[in-house]
Amino acid sequence: MSWKPEMKVVNDENWYPNGLVFETKMEAELYAKDLYSRWTSTADHRAVESDLEPNYRWNSELNKLERIIRDGEAKPENDNNIPE
């Protein structure tokens, strides 16, 4: 089991993921809280269970999102394409 952050925007009843998947609920919640604080039209945030393989981790010490690089994957030269 893994966890995905989701956002709810103003005047919309739907919840929206952004492709990030975390190993723990706490990581997903911390990222969702961080993203919620930066977006201007969010109404709420949450973490939901997922069957997908985690692809990011939340570094609490640095308050920073980090991509998980699996064996055989090339490490990106520039990781500025992290989804918001």
Q: Is residue 75 in some structural domain?
A: no
Alpha helices in the chain (DSSP H): 25-38
Q: Domain for residue 77, yes or no?
A: no
How sure is the predictor about 9, in pLDDT bands with cuts at 50, 70 and 90?
very high
DSSP state of 22: B
Q: Looking at the 3D structure of the chain, how many domains does it have?
A: 1
Q: Is residue 21 part of a domain?
A: yes
Note whether residue 73 is domain-resident. no
Q: Name the pTM for this structure.
A: 0.82
Domain ranges, residue 6? 2-67
List, for residues 10-60, the tens digit of each pLDDT value. Answer: 999 999 999 999 999 999 999 999 999 998 899 999 999 999 999 999 998
